[in-house]
Structure 1
Amino acid sequence: MKTPLEKIDWSELPEPEDNGAADHLTGTMLPQMQLSSTSGVMIDLSHLSGITVVYAYPRTGQPDQPLPDGWDMIPGARGCTPQSCAFRDHFAELKALGVDHLFGLSTQDTAYQSEAAARLHLPFPLLSDAKLALTKALNLPTFQAAGMTLLHRLTLIVRDGVIIKSFYPVFPPDQNATDVINWLKSGASTDR
Structure 2
Amino acid sequence: MTDFTILPEGLEAPRDDGGASHLVGRRLPSLSLSSTSGGTVDLARLNGLAVLYLYPMTGRPGLPLPGGWNEIPGARGCTPQACGFRDHFAALRSLDVTHVFGISTQTTAYQREAVERLHLPFPLLSDATLELVDMLDVPVFDVDGDALFKRLTMIARDGEIVKVFYPIFPPDKNAEEVLDWLSEEREAHRARPL
Q: So what's the TM-score if we normalise by structure 1?
A: 0.94
CA distance in 1, matches of 2:17, 2:186: 24
Query: Which residue number corresponds to residue 8 of structure 1?
Result: 7
Structure 2: distance between partners of 1:109 and 1:9: 26
Amino acid paired to 1:30: L
SS at match of 1:187: helix
C-alpha displacement at 1:70, in angstroms?
0.3
Contact 1:106 1:150 in 2 (8 A): yes
Counting matched residue pairs gives 187
**Residue 135 of structure 1: CA displacement?**
2.2
**Does the CA contact (< 8 Å) of 1:91 and 1:123 recur in 2?**
yes
Matches within 5 A, 1:1-192: 6-10=5-9, 12-187=10-185
Give the whole-Å Cα distance in 2 for the aligned partners of 1:56 and 1:189: 27
CA drift of 1:112 comes to 0.3
- Flag the structure with larger Rg: 2
Superposed CA offset, 1:143-181 (max 9, x none): 000111000000000011110000000000000000000
TM-score normalized with structure 2 length:
0.93
Q: Report the Cα offset of residue 6 of structure 1.
A: 2.2
The Cα offsets for residues 20-46 of structure 1, whole Å up to 9 and x where unpaired, read as 100000000111111001010210011
Partner of 2:40: helix, strand, or coil? coil
Contact 2:49 2:155 in 1 (8 A): yes
Unaligned runs of 5+ residues in structure 2 are 190-194
Task: Specify the SS of the correspondent of 2:76.
Answer: coil
% identical aligned pairs? 56
